Amino acid sequence: MNFRDILVGMEEKKKNLGSVRGQANVSMVRGGYGSSQAKMAPIEGEIASEHDFFWRKEDLKLVRVKNERAFFRLETNLKAVIIPMERFGMGEVPARVLNISPGGAGIGTTCQCCNGDKLLLKVRLLAGEEDWNLFCQVVRIEEYGVSGFVYGCRFIELGDRERERLLESIRKLEYELRGYVTILL
């Protein structure tokens, strides 16, 4: 039995059943992500056979989009510096941490990077704390203005204990930014 025989057999079954309503997973690319970062989005609709090897799709509706973000994100505007790891001798480049989570950060800078580039992010989250030195990898790039860029970066080489410490610092920063008073006992 060859491929054409299978499709003809399916065609006959579809004629007996008419149109079929159900769900299917369709791969889509979310804005700014490369094809290796494709997300899955279930859609619902009707699929009916037309002519030889053609299928009609009607009334397609997006059911939901899966958000694979594992942590909440805190909007910030913190001064920072980045050091591109692939560019020797470039040194520290001024940057802004626009948002941060235990999984990654949104970084604004004038330094041009590529998807997959590794950076060292140096940022002080709270006054009185030491600077954080966070290794990260660029996963999303947006151009901002004439010569600026915003990079979506995920933290790499961050152990569970360090991630927990970072989460605690982010929570303290959130309280500070919202104007809550922290009482130390």
The pLDDT assigned to 36 comes to: 41
Quick one: which of 133, 146, 176, 151 has its CA closest to 97?
151
Residues 126-157: tens digit of each pLDDT: 998 999 999 999 999 998 877 799 999 999 98
> How far is 19 from 48, CA to CA, in rounded Å?
5
Residues 45-103: tens digit of each pLDDT: 666 655 555 666 666 666 555 555 556 789 999 999 999 988 777 789 999 999 999 99
> How far is 113 from 59, CA to CA, in rounded Å?
41
Q: Kindly state the helix (H) or strand (E) to which residue 114 belongs, with its residue range.
A: none
Angle formed at CA 12 by CA 11 and CA 17, multiple of 5 degrees = 95
Cβ–Cβ < 8 Å for 89, 97 = no
Reported as half-sphere exposure (CB side, CA atoms, 13 A), residue 46 has a value of: 10
Cβ–Cβ < 8 Å for 182, 169 = no
Mean pLDDT for the chain? Answer: 76
> How far is 113 from 96, CA to CA, in rounded Å?
15
Asked if pLDDT for residue 35 goes beyond 50, the answer is no
For the sheet with 39-49, list strands across it: 20-28, 39-49, 55-62
| Positive or negative torsion for Cα 162, 163, 166, 167 | negative
Cβ–Cβ < 8 Å for 170, 163 = no
> How far is 185 from 179, CA to CA, in rounded Å?
19
Cβ–Cβ < 8 Å for 61, 42 = no
